[in-house]
Amino acid sequence: MGLESSVILITGGNAGIGRAIASRFLRSGSVVIILGINTESGQETVAAFKEEYPSCSVAFYTCDVSQTAAVDAAVETILREYGRIDVVVNNAGIVADQLLMKMQEDEWDRVLQVNLKSCYNVCRATVRSMLRNRQGRIINISSVIGLMGNSGQTNYAASKAGMIGFSKSLAKEVATRGITVNCVAPGFIETQMTASLAESHKQAILQDIPMGYMGGPEDIAEAVYFLASPVARYITGQVLAVDGGMVMH
Ligand code: NAD
């Protein structure tokens, strides 16, 4: 699909959905750079990828994407090293679920900073070089929760809905320069994030999924890969739900 040797920056690409996205791009010969907070898991991921794809180009940079200065420094290093960034995938995310009445200020701030401020940080640091190259793809991993809300997730839903407004606005700012900005909104996907859900909660969620089963990280990876590819050049400012039919517009 024309992404061979493109440079892809993926936040949180060392686990779950991000790791599947990284793997999808590596399989096609792209250069993959992962930004993440967990150095040990990052190094383990790079080693595993090098074993799976012996001639691949993959690197991990330790970086808390909620921190503006840390992102600026990492992107500066990456641009110096690789010369360009073609695709940005803002995937890093956390939850800190709590009913609003009991939600601590720290739980609100942390989720908004990791999930939403990281988009501002990473996009602002990378968009200038994309503008210069007159091409680029930004794909932000939102969530169906940002579209439909969920009890106990006001912080998470606000961060994920915020990503959608952010993406539509940025899409308008950069559309004439060959850069597209889209969101992928996963439904319930089997990763570490959903592994801790109680079995009764999982069963209740499955009732709301017309397809009747949880998705895999590779379902999200394929959607991201499609939006990143040249064939998706005329798609921007959109939210692609990959959710077994949970949210239908
Ligand atoms: P995960 O917990 O398995 O992985 C999240 C990754 O983000 C990890 O690598 C983690 O180290 C990294 N990360 C966390 N905080 C970070 C920070 N401050 N700086 C850099 N990296 C950081 O989660 P996942 O299920 O793979 O989720 C990936 C994305 O998909 C998240 O944005 C999540 O909100 C979204 N999502 C997941 C689901 C699901 O069902 N799993 C559904 C909808 C949306």
Instruction: Give 176 Cα–ligand 1 centroid separation in angstroms.
Output: 31
In whole angstroms, give the CA distance from residue 158 to residue 143. Answer: 10
Give the residue numbers marked as catalytic.
156
Q: How confident is the model at residue 249 (pLDDT cuts 50, 70, 90)?
A: confident
Q: Report the 10 Å Cβ neighbour count for 183.
A: 28
Give tens-digit pLDDT for 66-97.
999 999 999 999 999 999 999 999 999 999 99
- Residue 118 vs residues 69, 106, 121, 211, 223: alpha-carbon distances, Å: 11, 16, 5, 32, 21
Give tens-digit pLDDT for 165-218.
999 999 999 999 999 999 999 999 999 989 988 899 899 999 999 999 999 999
| Residue whose CA lies nearest to ligand 1 atom number 3 | 16
Ligand 1 contacts CB of residue 114 (under 6 A): yes
Looking at every residue in the chain, the average pLDDT score rounds to: 97
Tokens 């909660």: give the residue: 201
